[in-house]
Amino acid sequence: LHDMVAYHDFEGITVAGSDIYMITSNGNLYRFREGANNAAVRYSIIDTHLGKECEFEGVAFDPDSAWLLMPCKRVSKKLPRDQLVIYRYRLQGADSARLTMMSIPHAQAIGPNDWKGLHPSDITVHPTTGNYVLISAQEKALAFMFFDIASCVHPPRKPGSKASRSASRSTGPIS
C-alpha cells in the first residue's frame, strides 16, 4: 500500500472488478488496485462507522448485486445476540442506500446442531447459484444460505436501526 504502510488486523480480502477490498475487524474497508510486484499502491479507506456494532471477519463481493458482504463474528450488545448478522455495503449508488443489515435467527442458521451460535470466519458467494457460503472455525461449520428472491429489497441500514431478511440454511460440521 502507498505512502503510509497500512498495518492493521485485516480480516478478509475480495476483488470487485478492478478494485481490491480488504476489511479490518472494526469494519474499515481498504480499496486499492493491483500493482507491480514489490510496488506500493495508493489506497483509500471507507469508514463504515460500524466498529462499535460488530467485529467483522471476512468480506466477499456479490457480483449480481454489487454488494460487499461483511459478516459479524461477534455483535455488540445493541444488536440481536441470537442472530447471525451480515452487513452489506453497495459499491455504487446513493450514500443513503449503501449500507444494509441482514439478520438471520441462530435457530434457522444453525439447524439441528447443538452450537450456541454461529461465528463466521469467512464468507463467499457461490459462483453459479449466488448463495452465500460461510465457514466458522469456532463451530467447525460450513453453512450455505439460500435466500428467498422476494426478500431482496432492504431498507437502508444505519447503526442502531433494525432490518432483517429471511433465509433457509444447510449447515453442518466440518471434519
Q: Read off the pLDDT of residues 46-67 as tens digits, 9 standing for 90 and up.
A: 999 999 989 999 999 999 889 9
Percent of the chain with pLDDT over 90: 39
pTM of the full structure: 0.80
Residue 135 pLDDT > 80: yes
**Residue 148 CB neighbour total at 10 angstroms:** 10
Q: Which comes out higher in pLDDT, residue 65 or 166?
A: 65
Distances (CA, A) of 131 to 27, 87, 118, 125: 23, 16, 17, 6
Residue 169 has pLDDT above 50, yes or no: no
CA dihedral 113→118→121→122, nearest 10 degrees, is 90
Tell me: pLDDT of 144 over 70.
yes
pLDDT score at 96: 61
Class of residue 156 by CB neighbours under 10 A (exposed 0-12, middle 13-18, buried 19+)? middle
For 173, the grid coordinates are 460440521
The overall average pLDDT reported for the chain is: 79
Residue whose C-alpha cell is 452465500:
132
- Average pLDDT of 90-103? 80
Condensed to tens digits (0 to 9), the pLDDT of residues 145-160 reads: 766 533 333 333 344 4
What average pLDDT does range 3-8 have in this prediction? 61
**Does the structure show a pLDDT above 70 at 36?**
yes
Q: How far is CA 23 from CA 1, 82, 130, 152, in A?
A: 14, 24, 21, 24
Give residue 106's pLDDT.
83
- Other CB atoms within a 10 A radius of the CB of residue 166 amount to 12
86 has a pLDDT exceeding 50: yes
